[in-house]
Structure 1
Amino acid sequence: MLTVIGQIIAAVAVLANAVVYGTDVCCALVTRSVNRKLDDATMTINAGWGHFYADKRMPAFGAGGVVAAVLTALLALVTGQVGAAVAAGITVAALLTWVAFYVRIAKPINSLQTAAAQSGVIPANARALQDEWDSILKYRVPLQTVAITGLCVALILF
């Protein structure tokens, strides 16, 4: 019974983290290039309103994905599924690292861009802020890739 529950939670973790992974991949492959074609004001307003909505809607997926990954690791341990526990543990490490990048770098920029979009006052360093936000995508996408892969492996080995 606990094995089936673990599999269900692992599947939920895959789905929740897939939303974050897909968002990061879209930003890396599409949005970053689009922003480079826009003037600073348009870029900031677009990014700011995007962050306004994302910061309200994405935490359920991000936090839910982390919690489900932790539960997957714990249930794998409790049921003696060592391989699944290791895979889920690697996932948890990747997700916590992703969260650190988000909290330390992305979130403060999100807040500045959201305030700029709402007020219409574009900061003088708008392009530098966006460049800094973009600079961590090279870490965020691989971390999410590791997380999704680890969860899939855990699901297979459960």
Structure 2
Amino acid sequence: MLSDVLVVTALMSAGVVYGTDVFFAVVGRAALEEARDESVTDVMGRLHRYGDARMPVFGALGLLSTLGLVFAAGFGSAASTWALVALAGLLTQLAAYVVVARPVNTILTAAAAQGNVALASRPLQRRWDSVIVLRALGLAAGMAGLALAAISLR
């Protein structure tokens, strides 16, 4: 029963982050390439202001419930092994976010808050974009691992 609750919680929480990152990998990145620099600074700064404040709840809940699943499913079981795969994917996304994306988010958020839309946002956005596919793929591995863990629990 605990394993079922953990896998559902992990899937739903990590799924929020997965959907966001896949959207930006597939749609957002291309749209931002075509946008004016001022628009990128203003809109992305404001998106990151809210995203960086609200998304960690989903990421942390996804990570913690996945880690709990590793143990609750019975260490060494198929479900536990798939949960470890999921955990590796989630941690890959988190590392790319913390090392590359978060510093860019901080700069764009400050620029938007100060009304500094003249900031040279294009190089910053390209740096952020440089890891979005890796983040989406890490999360895809996480989601697949969680789905396979759920199936293994049956």
Q: Structure 1 residue runs of 4+, over 4 Å off?
A: none
Match of 2:46 among 49, 68, 78: 49
Instruction: Provide the rounded CA distance (Å) in 1 between the counterparts of 2:123 and 2:105.
Output: 13
Give the 5 Å matches for 1:13-92.
13-77=10-74, 82-92=77-87
Match of 1:152 among 136, 147, 150: 147
1:105 equivalent to 2:100? Answer yes
SS of the equivalent of 2:116 reads coil
Q: Which string of whole-angstrom CA distances, capped at 9 and with x for unpartnered residues, describes residues 9-36 of structure 1?
A: 1011000011000000111121112211
Partners of 2:37 and 2:118 within 8 A in 1: no
Partners of 2:39 and 2:117 within 8 A in 1: no
Gaps in structure 2 of 5+ consecutive residues = none
Q: Which string of whole-angstrom CA distances, capped at 9 and with x for unpartnered residues, describes residues 41-77 of structure 1?
A: 1111110000001111101101110001000111112
- Give, as a single letter, the amino acid of the residue that structure 2 aligns with 1:24: D
Instruction: Provide the rounded CA distance (Å) in 2 between the counterparts of 1:123 and 1:112.
Output: 13
TM-score normalised according to structure 2 size: 0.95
- The aligned length equals 153
Aligned twin of 2:111 = 116
TM-score normalised according to structure 1 size: 0.92
1:135 equivalent to 2:130? Answer yes
Cα deviation for residue 124 of structure 1 reads 4.5
Q: Note closer, same or farther for the CA distance 1:124–1:116 as it changes in structure 2 (3 Å cut).
A: closer
Q: Note closer, same or farther for the CA distance 1:129–1:123 as it changes in structure 2 (3 Å cut).
A: farther
Q: CA RMSD in A?
A: 1.3
